[in-house]
């Protein structure tokens, strides 16, 4: 960086940080590089209050956006109607995506086109008229015979991670969360083994262990549900949790709020050591599937999948290593889509809108 560029950079940062409280803006140019550098370090270390214009910019950037998901029969004027509704309330649409498809119930004579849309909008100018907007959206959906889900972006998801002994998915979730890629609060980790407590301690997340046996399963799940409700958990992620959740547990916790991850060999290689049996069969593709958990084991609506090619040169360790890489990546992608309200579940499939 040459001398002139350094001077301009210092002056720009000082002004953006509101250093007018220390030096008048006209005097910034006359200060030496060393004095400007000291002023800059002082401002950063003392968290100097930004100028009013900078405050407004930060407020606008951090303003949470509302997300509206609508689904139902396709019809002319849906997009225009909802866009006009939001415009009339001074809401600015910042992202909009839509999909249409044929009906899934053609066997019963219902082959209508279906329409799915996700609208993300800035409601900073809405003031206190949210209820009015909500009522108009519900009325509009009723007019078109559609369903909707609206979130205002002012409530952070609270997530619980269930895990057993495999740690690759747990590490990935916690690291991505620390990096700011997952917008949620990871409130606790629940396990049936002590072995991964050190991972939870690394990130300062409470780690609860429940020794599950056939005789105490019902009681353990009841206690787990109580803890989940106490912590106001609205998303459970099964990060290679090697226990089958009972129907009672699933009924007590909405199934579209539980995400599971597993290899994509199902239904071919059920049970233990799937990679060993896949290697014996000489498979050429391995993969991972993330889905919502339902009463039908591993058959819930699929959120995300990915595959990787393998060859006869790959041994069992190679398959396991590559499979785990897929599992943790696919799981994080699915969780991120859920947290960002980019999923509409229709019958037994997921419509996932792009980032």
Each residue's pLDDT tens digit, 109-123: 556 789 999 999 999
Residue 24: the pLDDT is: 41
Q: What totals of helices (H) and strands (E) does the chain contain, helices first?
A: 12, 13
Coil, strand or helix at 167: coil
Residue 25: the pLDDT is: 41
- For residue 100, what is the enclosing H or E element? strand 92-102
Q: Which of 13, 337, 3, 346 is nearest to 184 (CA)?
A: 337
Q: Which of 92, 95, 111, 298 is catalytic?
A: 298
Does 92 qualify as catalytic in the annotation?
no
- Give alpha helix (H) positions in 155-253: 168-178, 197-203, 217-230, 247-252
Residue 277: the pLDDT is: 74
Residue 135: the pLDDT is: 95
Q: Which of 152, 72, 76 is nearest to 112 (CA)?
A: 72
Q: Which of 202, 212, 290 is nearest to 244 (CA)?
A: 212
Largest Cα–Cα separation, the chain: 80
Coil, strand or helix at 273: coil
Residue 347: the pLDDT is: 87
Contact yes or no for 210/192 (Cβ under 8 A): yes
Packing angle of the helix pair 316-339, 274-281 (nearest 10 deg):
120
Residue 273: the pLDDT is: 74
Residue 271: the pLDDT is: 62
Contact yes or no for 301/349 (Cβ under 8 A): yes
pLDDT in tens, the chain (355 residues): 455 554 555 444 545 444 443 444 445 454 555 555 555 455 444 444 444 444 444 344 556 799 999 999 999 999 999 999 999 999 999 999 999 886 655 545 556 789 999 999 999 988 778 999 999 999 999 999 999 999 998 899 999 999 999 999 999 999 999 999 999 999 999 999 999 999 999 999 999 999 998 889 999 999 999 999 999 999 999 999 999 999 899 988 876 999 999 887 544 666 667 777 777 888 888 889 999 998 777 788 999 999 999 888 888 888 889 999 999 999 999 999 999 999 999 988 999 999 8
The answer to whether the predicted template modeling score (pTM) of the entire model surpasses 0.75 is yes
Give 268: exposed, middle or buried? Use CB within 10 Å, 0-12, 13-18, 19+.
exposed
What is d(CA 334, CA 288) in angstroms, rounded to the nearest whole number?
Answer: 11
Instruction: Pull the structure tokens for residue 6.
Output: 């350094």
């Amino acid at each position: 960086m040459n001398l002139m560029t350094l001077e301009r950079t210092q002056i720009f940062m000082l002004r953006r940080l509101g250093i007018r409280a220390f030096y008048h803006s006209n005097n910034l140019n006359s200060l030496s590089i060393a004095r400007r550098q000291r002023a800059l370090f002082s401002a950063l270390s003392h968290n100097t209050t930004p100028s009013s214009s900078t405050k407004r910019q930060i407020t606008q950037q951090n303003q949470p956006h509302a997300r509206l998901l609508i689904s139902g029969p396709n019809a002319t004027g849906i997009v225009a109607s909802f866009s006009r509704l939001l415009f009339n309330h001074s809401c600015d649409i910042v992202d909009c995506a839509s999909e249409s498809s044929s009906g899934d119930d053609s066997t019963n004579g219902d082959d209508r086109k279906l329409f799915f849309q996700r609208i993300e909008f800035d409601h900073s100018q809405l003031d206190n008229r949210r209820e009015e907007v909500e009522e108009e959206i519900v009325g509009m959906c009723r007019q078109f015979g559609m369903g909707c889900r609206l979130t205002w972006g002012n409530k952070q998801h609270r997530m619980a991670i269930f895990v057993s002994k495999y740690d690759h998915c747990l590490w990935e979730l916690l690291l991505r969360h620390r990096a700011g890629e997952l917008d949620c609060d990871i409130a606790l980790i629940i396990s049936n083994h002590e072995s991964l407590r050190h991972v939870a301690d690394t990130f300062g997340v409470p780690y609860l262990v429940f020794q599950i046996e056939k005789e105490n399963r019902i009681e353990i799940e009841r206690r787990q549900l109580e803890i989940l409700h106490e912590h106001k958990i609205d998303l459970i992620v099964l990060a290679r949790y090697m226990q089958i959740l009972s129907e009672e547990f699933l009924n007590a916790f909405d199934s579209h709020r539980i995400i599971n991850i597993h290899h994509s060999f199902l239904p071919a290689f059920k049970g233990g050591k799937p990679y060993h049996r896949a290697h014996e069969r000489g498979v050429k593709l391995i993969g991972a599937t993330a889905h919502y958990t339902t009463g039908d084991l591993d058959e819930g609506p699929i959120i995300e999948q990915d595959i990787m090619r393998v060859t006869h040169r790959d041994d069992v360790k190679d398959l396991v290593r590559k499979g785990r890489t897929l599992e943790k990546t696919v799981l994080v992608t699915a969780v991120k889509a859920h947290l960002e309200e980019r999923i509409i579940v229709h019958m037994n499939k997921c419509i996932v809108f792009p980032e």
